[in-house]
Amino acid sequence: MMPGGVTTGNTKKRAAATRSRRVDLARGLICGARHVPSPNHDARPAGVAPSLIVIHGISLPPGRFGGPWVERLFTNSLPADRHPYFKSIAGLRVSSHLVIRRGGRVVQYVPFHRRAWHAGVSSYRGRARCNDYSIGIELEGTDRRSYTDAQYRVLARTVRALLAAYPTLSAERIAGHSDIAPGRKTDPGPAFDWARLRAAIATSKRGARA
């Protein structure tokens, strides 16, 4: 937004991309996202389609937002010497399908038909190995700090786009990382408002039909 309330062309383009968010099934990519390929993925098991959405929270270094470090982690280029915390994670080979930044921008690292390495040892409703059948969405944030209005808005539209693209997904099968790996993971934490997400998904659904 420019001074005086004037909206720039780039802002208009980003807003239009968010409103028209949809999935390109042929490529497994969501339209309007910035695409940054991660090497950390492999094939899903034969015949397995995504049937679960997992919400995560992430910040690097912990509690700090912005910067290139999540992207560097997911592309195996995190410099261990740039922060003491990085020494403990620089060798990890992890990824997520999507990251939603604090301002609502979406970055995609892994196509949806591929298995991203986001869940680790996990189980959902008695079914283990959640990476096999899930789509991982990281929100830039922490367990205790509120996620942003833009993140809820964009997350809801993204979920609706995924539900429209993949019939095996359901609004009733959305879980937090802490739900599928209790005791090991805590994100997206108490700061994440699940009721707000559900309401936003329903609102987004009504808007799509209007």
pLDDT tens by residue, 85-122: 999 999 999 999 999 999 999 999 999 999 999 999 99
Q: How confident is the model at residue 11 (pLDDT cuts 50, 70, 90)?
A: very low
105 or 19, which is more confident? 105
Q: Which residues lie below 8 Å from residue 171, measured CB to CB, with a gap of 6+? A: 159, 163, 198, 201
**pLDDT score for 143:** 98
Hey, what are 144's tokens? 């205790």
Answer whether residue 12 shows pLDDT above 90.
no
Catalytic residue numbers?
138
Q: Count of CB atoms within 10 A of residue 14's CB? A: 15
Render pLDDT for 52-95 as a digit per residue (tens, 0 to 9).
999 999 999 999 999 999 999 999 999 999 999 999 999 999 99
**pLDDT score for 23:** 98
**pLDDT score for 205:** 58
The model's pTM is 0.89
Hey, what are 44's tokens? 């899903």
What is the C-alpha end-to-end distance of the chain, expressed in Å? 27
Distances (CA, A) of 57 to 16, 46, 162, 183: 26, 29, 19, 16
Q: How confident is the model at residue 173 (pLDDT cuts 50, 70, 90)?
A: very high
Render pLDDT for 134-147 as a digit per residue (tens, 0 to 9).
999 999 999 999 99
| Mean of all residue pLDDT scores within the chain | 90
Q: How confident is the model at residue 206 (pLDDT cuts 50, 70, 90)?
A: low
Hey, what are 141's tokens? 């944030």
Q: Count of CB atoms within 10 A of residue 74's CB? A: 29
Spans of all domains in the chain: 3-67+94-209
Hey, what are 120's tokens? 């680790």
Q: Cis omega before residue 188 (within 30°)? A: yes
205 or 50, which is more confident? 50
Answer whether residue 1 shows pLDDT above 50.
no
Answer whether residue 18 shows pLDDT above 80.
no
Answer whether residue 208 shows pLDDT above 90.
no
Q: How confident is the model at residue 10 (pLDDT cuts 50, 70, 90)?
A: very low
Q: Taking a C-beta distance cutoff of 8 angstroms, is the pair 123, 101 a contact? A: no
Question: Span 184-194, mean pLDDT?
Answer: 98
Write the burial class of residue 42 (CB in 10 Å: 0-12 exposed, 13-18 middle, 19+ buried).
exposed
> Considering the domain 3-67+94-209, what is its CATH architecture?
3-Layer(aba) Sandwich (3.40)
